[in-house]
Amino acid sequence: MTMTTSSSSSAAASQNAYFYPALLLGLGSIIALLLIGLVIPKWLLFLVTIAAANGLVSLGIVILMRSGVVSFGQGMVFALGGYAAALAYGKLGITDALVLSLGGGLVAVILSAPFAYLIARYRGIFFAMLSLSLSMVLYGILIKSESMGGSDGFNMGRPTLFGIRAADEWSSYLNYAVTITLSGLCTLATYIYFNSTRGLVSLAARDNEIRVEYLGSSVQELIATNYLLAAFMGGMGGALAVIALGHIEPNFSYWTTSGEFVFVSILAGHYSVIAVFIASTVLEIVRSFSSLYFPNTWQLVLGLFLLAVIRFLPRGIGSLWEKRVKKQQQGERA
Amino acid sequence: MNIALTIMIDGLTYASWLFIVALGLTLVFGVLKILNVAHGSFYALGAYAAASLVGWFASMQLAPELSLIAMLLAAVGVAVIVAPLCERGLLRIFYGRDEVLLVLVTYALFLILEDVTKIIWGVNPFYLSEPYALFGNVDIGKQSYVGYDFLLVIVAIVVGFIVWWGLNRTRIGKIVLAVIHSEEIAASMGVNVSRIYTLAFGTGIFLAALGGALTAPMISVQPGISVGVVILSFAVVIIGGLGSIPGAAIGALIVGIARSAAVHLMPVAELFSIYLVMAVVLMFRPEGLFQRSQARKI
């Protein structure tokens, strides 16, 4: 505990020391990824697009994890954003990929806002279960809504960008570029948020909530805000996933979908924002390869993989390179 | 009036098997502090095992009444073979970790068991309707109900009583209660905590498998039945309070009646009526209806 705060507060004190390198690194990686997208094969392009879109949802869970709670119902905001984008495309004729994804995020925030304060009163298993039940309520509504295709869902066409409709061979690159840019910017913003005062207070709330309350911060308000941030990212991830897949169905809100998002967050750990996208890509790769080579037992492979991660990397991939964690581990050993 | 009676009876029969399954879930949580996502998979294993055993009994030309024994044997088999494997071989490694991480461990177990069931029994549905007709029909008013459903209600009451009696009136039950209360102190008094864990987990899994075996004649046993059941039993134990037996009974009744009311009055709401009830209960009584609130640790 002492190690975490001392190193974190020094990070906050010298804001410029982390801000500009992070900004450069973040924008640099976005540009690098956009260029790499031009040369990689199409299946990989699609895989990374989906991984980045799903990664955004898990990034939201990581924000919540840093304040000490885990949502088992992020499928709800994922579905809200996805349905918002698909409906806006089909019924309102909005085709711009950027507008659709940002709109998806906003709709998810607006519709989950009434629950934010309420859910922020709960911790541990109760937070997880309440978020799960909210997502299952949405699932129950979606599966019975005839106008939105019921359990089959419905399709949406290809998006445009700034009024331009990409040619066939470029359409998957367009999705890739939008997804990479948006999730890159969100990652950068999250990193800055983590090192801001509020972000560090979240981490303190994870360590000891009552101490934070006595110091004058409202933990409930903190978690509510983080819940809404997570909703925005989840909604945007849902919209981006729908744009890439061209199809939406109620399963977006099912508890097994939420379980996968939590899986990625745990695999990543809450120490590093980049790790979330690495974890999400790893999951997609394991999923596609095991469904290719073990078509009937890919869930089995996924489960064993998950167990191996929890067993051997309990703090997540991010703990492999984050200095803060290493210091903390040394502190615990000493 | 008639419709109210129908809702009550449908709700009661639905609640009865749900209570048996949820009782297992709540027992495992009470003792091991694990919210077992794979609970539904054990339900499915029980249903599949029952389908196989009843089929085998039928091929041996045994009396149809014996199929009830076959169902019981199926549940016992799952509890004796699979439960120790999972608890000793897997869960034991992760004891003491964060409770949310443990949820994820059982989620992994759920994924694994899902495919294992498919490997053993394939993907085609099984039907075993013979036991369902064993008890004929019962007429109440103008409506006719299947006798087997009432058998389920009786079984649920008996199972609930046995578990309550076992926990409160026997030596081993009192030891289990001591472990639930504080495993450290129980261990220092000489209780073999890890054996109690195995026992409690085995009993919980037996109840899940029993629920699966008993419902097997009423449904088509096919891949995917586990997924819905676990969410239903979550709703039950959350409504009643995690770790509480009367809570599980009341929770099961509430869920059963909410569902059958929705089915009869507003079919559109069938799926989400249950989760709506669960969300409402959580909002007003976060610890469930039958749970004393716990002191916050500073």
Q: Is residue A134 part of a domain?
A: yes
Burial A163-177 (b: 16+ CB within 10 A, else e): eeebeeeeebbbbbb
A118 within 8 A of B283, measured Cβ to Cβ: yes
Q: How many domains does chain B have?
A: 1
Give the span between the Cα atoms of B127 and B150, in whole angstroms.
Answer: 20
What is the value of pTM for the model shown?
Answer: 0.84
Identify the pLDDT of residue B125. Answer: 83
Are the CB atoms for B288 and B242 separated by under 8 Å? yes
Q: Chunked in runs of 10, what are the mean pLDDT values of chain A (334 residues)?
A: 44 60 80 79 85 90 87 89 87 80 90 84 79 82 78 77 72 84 87 82 82 83 89 92 86 84 85 84 86 81 86 78 59 49
Size of chain A, expressed as the number of residues it contains: 334
Rounded distance between C-alpha atoms, residue A98 and residue A65, angstroms: 28
Give the pLDDT score at A7: 46
Question: For the CA atoms of chain B, what is the radius of gyration?
Answer: 19
**Is A178 inside a domain boundary?**
yes
The answer as to whether A308 is a domain residue is no
Asked if residue A287 belongs to a domain, the reply is no
Count of C-beta atoms within a 10 Å radius of residue B279: 23
* Residue B263, in any domain of the structure: no
Instruction: Judge: B234–A298 Cβ closer than 8 Å, yes or no.
Output: no
Number of H helices, E strands in chain A: 14, 2
Q: Is B112 on the interface with A (CB under 8 A)?
A: yes
Would you state the pLDDT for residue A164?
A: 73
Extract the runs of DSSP E, i.e. beta strands, from B71-203.
137-140, 143-146
Is residue B22 domain-resident?
yes
Residue B248 is assigned to a structural domain of this protein = no
Which residues of B fall within a CB distance of 8 Å from A298? 115
By the 8 A CB rule, do B221 and B98 touch? no
CA distances from B24 to A84, B42, B157, B160 (A): 40, 10, 14, 10
Residue B292: the pLDDT is 56
Interface test with A, best of B111, B284, B293 (most A CBs within 10 A): B111
Residue of A nearest to B227 (CA): A256
Name the residue facing A130 among B108, B115, B279 (closest C-beta): B279
Q: How far apart are CA B100 and CA B147, in angstroms?
A: 42
The count of structural domains within chain A is 1
Containing domain of residue B158, as a range?
Answer: 14-223
What's the CA gap between A28 and A180, in Å, rounded? 12
Whether residue A279 is contained in a domain is answered as: no
pLDDT digits (tens, 9 = 90+) for B223-252: 888 888 888 888 888 888 877 888 888 889
The complex's ipTM?
Answer: 0.83
Gyration radius from chain A CA atoms? 20
Note whether residue A276 is domain-resident. no
In this structure, is residue B279 part of a structural domain? no
**Phi/psi zone of residue A150: left (φ > 0), alpha (ψ -120 to 50 degrees), beta?**
left
What does the pLDDT read at residue B275? 76
Tracing tokens 């085709």 back to the chain, one arrives at A95
User: Is position A87 within any domain?
Assistant: yes
Q: Are B198 and B188 in contact (CB under 8 A)?
A: no
Which chain B residue has the Cα nearest residue A72?
A: B100
Is position B290 within any domain?
Answer: no
Torsion over CA: A7, A9, A13, A15 (sign): positive
B231: nearest CB among A124, A136, A304? A136
Q: Which of A140, A303, A307 sits opposite B272 (nearest CB)?
A: A140
Decide the pairing of beta strands B143-146 and A154-155.
Answer: unpaired
Q: Which domain holds residue A156?
A: 2-255
A-contacting residues in B 276-295 (Cβ below 8 Å): 276, 278-279, 282-283, 286-287
B34 touches chain A (CB under 8 A): no
Find the residue in B nearest to A306 (Cα): B108
How does pLDDT run along chain B (298 residues), one tens digit per residue? Answer: 678 888 888 889 889 999 999 999 999 988 888 888 899 999 999 999 998 888 888 788 777 777 888 888 989 999 999 988 988 888 888 887 777 788 888 988 998 998 899 888 888 888 877 777 777 777 776 777 777 888 889 999 999 999 999 988 999 999 988 888 888 898 898 888 889 999 999 999 999 999 999 988 888 888 888 888 888 888 888 888 877 888 888 889 988 998 888 888 877 777 778 777 877 887 777 676 776 555 444 3
Q: Does B270 reside within a domain? A: no
